[in-house]
Amino acid sequence: MGIINLFLSFIFVSLLLLTWGTQKKRHQLPPGPYPLPLLGNVLQGTTVLYDSYRKLFKQYGPVFTVWLGSTPAVVLCGYEVLKEALINHSQQFGARALLPLQIRLNKGFGIIVNNGHRWKEMRRFSVTTLRNFGMGKRSMEERIQEEALHLIQAIKETGGEPFDPLELLGRSVNNILNLVVFGRRWDYEDQQFLLYLKITFSLVGFIRSPLGVTYSAFPRIMRNLPGPHQKIFQNNELLTSFFREQIESHRRTLDVDSPRDFIDCFLIKANEQKDVQGSEFFMENLVYTVLDIYAAGTETTTNTLQFSLLVMLKYPHIQARMQKEIDCIVGLHRLPEVAHRTQMPYTNAVVHEIQRFLDIVPMALHHKTTEDMTFRGFNIPKGTTVIPMLGSALWDPDHWETPEEFNPEHFLDEKGQFCNQAAFIPFSAGKRSCPGEGLAQMELFLFLTALLQKFTIRAASPTDTFNLGTLRRAFRKQGLYYQMRAVPRMCTEGGGD
């Protein structure tokens, strides 16, 4: 009995000390909901912060603190606050908070979960390589156009019957990354290709799911608990093993005078720096940089295209107006090109409004402060985790006329010409903005316009109804699944040829 009382006393004292330490930290940070010992604010909706941030914003203001277990995180809301932090104070807010989940998945290598010299080297190399990927051969635009033809053919084979667009879109988008990284595409029915595509979707979905957030809040407990999250790490190893095989194959057939893809460019750089002390160009950095590009570039672009088609069948008048612009500028017998984008203001506006309204990544990956600082009147210590709520800028009522509605006019001026908006930051802003933004924007425009050029998008059934406001959040929960029909268009209108 004495041992039990001693144990209970120990637990009580430990909780008391923990509560005291938490209270001390709370007074040093922006206000926020009261955290429970060990649990933090988990029971108050912080595992789905993209749903609860508005309530917290209204109660505590645009800068507030939530607790992920025993770790405090400062949340930034609204375009002006995000701009001030990510752009005006990019040095102080520019570091990455290394969350346990991401560290276990990436082992501390690659682009996403790094800071300092490694991050600078990997990001600089990746951005430059992606930007200059033509390398005297087919340009990135030509690769996307070629893949668009495969997608069009696959959709033609549905014969106008109902189908779920997610799988076909995922295969097309992933094949662009296959061409970039591995120098080849896979057939849509290749079983290995389909397996790795499925794993990629599950990885990204898990990271931003409530279960993934819970893992990062309680890593020591979750690491040893059985459950579906353990399968994620097994699949991650399977995917990186595939990358290693591809890298070894590239190493055996490498021609330094004729690089075929991202892997070749990295291996050439590694050979150039083989005698450089502290070089970051080695196998593990290549494996996990490929993982970063492969995962981040597949899921978000696929889901944005999937939502785009949902918008088309929800708003036939928007689809018809886009098709009229496509027919006039491009015609029916050649594929849309990037150069056409500036000549198609309404189509460009719709593509941007889809990204704004969908808000596919409502929270940027966690940042952390690099020094003690005062921000908006609050003292924020060095090393504090920071969560930029990108969605709060995309839906900021101070910057969008009708933020709750799907409205392409947000990106059109009084003359009907396209005009970008400062608060349009779906790829984040500042030092940690997405390095694949240019590729993603190119894919969205070329794939969507190519599909609308050839097909009219319709609901699977005339009785189907869709609430875009509800469905836009499905990506971060169970995923979005719906059926549609793609009816081939008749070649009745000319222009552009």
- What number is the average pLDDT over the span 210-219? 79
pLDDT at 494 over 50: no
Least confident among 41-45, 393-397, 448-452, 461-465: 41-45
Contacts of 470 (CB under 8 A, 6+ apart): none
Own/partner contacts of 461-465, CB < 8 Å, gap of 24 or more, are 461/162
Which residue has better confidence, 134 or 324?
A: 324
Q: How many CB atoms lie within 10 A of CB 277?
A: 5
Distance CA 247, CA 233 (A): 21
Q: How many CB atoms lie within 10 A of CB 387?
A: 23
- What number is the average pLDDT over the span 398-421? 96
Write out the two tokens for 135.
């390398």
Residue 72's SS3 state is strand
Write out the two tokens for 70.
């025993």
Task: State residue 479's pLDDT score.
Answer: 65
- What number is the average pLDDT over the span 440-453? 96
pTM for the whole structure: 0.89
pLDDT bin (cut points 50, 70, 90) of residue 495 is very low
Contacts of 62 (CB under 8 A, 6+ apart): 76, 77, 78, 80, 81, 376, 392
Give residue limits of the domains in the chain.
Answer: 2-488
Partners of 374 in the β-ladder: 379
Phi, psi of 95 (to 5 degrees): -85, 160
Distance CA 315, CA 491 (A): 22
Task: State residue 493's pLDDT score.
Answer: 43
Q: How far is CA 460 from CA 90, 160, 161, 277, in A?
A: 47, 9, 8, 60
- What number is the average pLDDT over the span 350-379? 93
Task: State residue 475's pLDDT score.
Answer: 62
- What number is the average pLDDT over the span 108-119? 89
Task: State residue 10's pLDDT score.
Answer: 45
Q: Let me know the angle formed at the C-alpha of 417 by 400 and 422, rounded to the nearest 5 degrees.
A: 35
Closest CA to 89 of 386, 362, 395, 361: 386
Phi, psi of 50 (to 5 degrees): -65, -20
Task: State residue 49's pLDDT score.
Answer: 82
- Most distant pair of Cα atoms in the chain: their distance: 91
**From start to end of 41-191, where are the E strands?**
63-68, 71-76, 95-96
- What number is the average pLDDT over the span 473-490? 78
Write out the two tokens for 248.
């070894």
Average pLDDT score over the chain:
87
pLDDT at 1 over 90: no
Task: State residue 27's pLDDT score.
Answer: 66
Q: Are 357 and 406 in contact (CB under 8 A)?
A: yes
Write out the two tokens for 347.
């189509």
Closest CA to 173 of 144, 205, 141: 144
Percent of the chain with pLDDT over 70: 89
pLDDT digits (tens, 9 = 90+) for 19-45: 544 555 666 799 998 887 767 777 666
pLDDT at 394 over 50: yes
pLDDT digits (tens, 9 = 90+) for 40-98: 777 666 667 878 888 999 999 999 999 888 889 999 999 999 999 999 999 999 999 88
Distance CA 31, CA 54 (A): 15
Q: Let me know the angle formed at the C-alpha of 115 by 112 and 116, rounded to the nearest 5 degrees.
A: 140
Closest CA to 484 of 461, 463, 455, 452: 461
pLDDT digits (tens, 9 = 90+) for 148-179: 999 999 999 999 999 999 999 999 999 999 99
Partners of 95 in the β-ladder: 368
Residues in the chain: 497
Phi, psi of 339 (to 5 degrees): -60, -25
- What number is the average pLDDT over the span 233-246? 94
Task: State residue 56's pLDDT score.
Answer: 92
Q: How many CB atoms lie within 10 A of CB 403?
A: 16
Distance CA 366, CA 386 (A): 6
Query: Based on the number of CB atoms within 10 Å of its own CB, is 248 exposed (0-12), middle (13-18) or buried (19 or more)?
Result: exposed
Task: State residue 446's pLDDT score.
Answer: 97
Write out the two tokens for 170.
């995922």
Burial 14-53 (b: 16+ CB within 10 A, else e): eeeeeeeebeebbeebbebbebeebebbbebbbbebbebb
Residues placed in the known binding site for heme: 434
Least confident among 68-82, 433-447, 468-482: 468-482
pLDDT bin (cut points 50, 70, 90) of residue 138 is low
- What number is the average pLDDT over the span 355-383? 92
Task: State residue 497's pLDDT score.
Answer: 44
Phi, psi of 283 (to 5 degrees): -55, -50
Q: How far is CA 140 from CA 9, 15, 132, 261, 450, in A?
A: 65, 57, 9, 11, 16
Q: Are 403 and 397 in contact (CB under 8 A)?
A: yes
The CATH homologous superfamily to which domain 2-488 belongs is Cytochrome P450 (1.10.630.10)
pLDDT digits (tens, 9 = 90+) for 254-310: 999 989 899 999 999 999 998 888 899 999 999 999 999 988 889 899 999 999 999
Task: State residue 470's pLDDT score.
Answer: 75
Instruction: Please report which helix (H) or strand (E) contains residue 386, including its range.
Output: strand 385-388
Which residue has better confidence, 362 or 41?
A: 362
Contacts of 248 (CB under 8 A, 6+ apart): none
pLDDT bin (cut points 50, 70, 90) of residue 12 is very low
Distance of CA 482 to the CA centre of its chain: 21
What is the DSSP secondary-structure string of 80-121?
HHHHIIIIITHHHH-EEP--HHHHHHHTT-SSTT--HHHHHH
Residue 488's SS3 state is strand
pLDDT at 426 over 90: yes
- What number is the average pLDDT over the span 420-443? 92
